[in-house]
Amino acid sequence: MKSIGFVSQMDCSGFLNCIARLVAQFGKKVIVIDATSQQRTRYTVPGMFSRNTEQYVNKHDNIDIAVGFNNILELKKWHVTKGEDFNDYDYVFINTDRQEMCEEFDLNNANSLFFATTYDRFELDKGVELLKYICASKRNDDTNAKVKINTIIVSTAINTVNSRRIDDLTSEMPIEQIGEKIELSYDEGDLSALIQNQYSNKIEFKNLSRQSKEGIAEAASRILEEPKEKVLKAVKGVEKNSSFFKR
């Protein structure tokens, strides 16, 4: 089992579910834990809002989505009550915007860590505060340790001033950037596609922009440790499954 951390002050749940769905396309069992302050997936994933319990796991298009859990132990206990084994998961995705959840889910020791942000100054600067917290936790165990991160940029337009700000804010931090920054677009088409997914039993890819598909594939390839070309072919497989489901 591998843990994949997503730290952000923006709502990245729509894109995150797409990444998780793409990983599942490779035959992997995946669970996404919404450990954010707003827990938007309670309302944006079909079938979740109708639940009348605080903690639950919802199956959604080949991935599981969990809300209301404060740590892995609570999630393991929930699975035991259902006669299931939490250790059957290949990947556990943890999405959070809270320092305490970074600690509870041990994100400084995650197998892969993603930092997602827009160029909005609040989301960027406050997101960097989360990174600083994770770095501090990491250095409590090893004073020379560096935190390896994958950066995801979600934007409608990139300018050089904003782009430099990310590097300026993190230049003195003990982090190591993995590869190039991953870029996802957030134009009207992407926004429409992500909202449409909130009303569908399938996680759709076909209406996303090419840039977003490329970015989602890049993130999934780093998680799976598979060539990006192979992962891009799997995107087409997800799209075909969705089309078949609609017939």
DSSP reduced 3-state for 65: strand
Which residue, among 174, 180, 171, 125, has the nearest Cα to 150 in the 3D structure? Answer: 180
Residues in the chain: 247
Query: What's the CATH code, domain 2-246?
Result: 3.40.50.300
pLDDT in tens, the chain (247 residues): 999 999 999 999 999 999 999 999 999 999 999 999 999 999 999 888 767 678 999 999 999 999 999 999 999 999 999 999 999 999 999 999 999 999 999 999 999 999 999 999 999 999 999 999 999 999 888 888 899 999 999 987 656 666 788 889 998 899 999 999 999 988 888 999 999 999 999 999 989 999 999 999 999 999 999 999 999 999 988 887 765 444 3
- Structure pTM? 0.93
pLDDT tens across 67-80, in order?
999 999 999 999 99
Q: Alpha helices of 32-120 — where are they, by DSSP H?
A: 41-44, 72-81, 99-104
Please check whether residue 205 is in contact with residue 161, taking contact to mean a CB–CB distance below 8 angstroms. Answer: no
Q: What is the pLDDT of residues 113-170, one digit of tens each?
A: 999 999 999 999 999 999 999 999 998 888 888 999 999 999 876 566 667 888 899 9
**d(Cα 175, Cα 25) in Å, to the nearest integer?**
31
Give me Rg for the CA atoms of the chain: 17
d(CA 146, CA 174): 5
Domain extents for the chain?
2-246
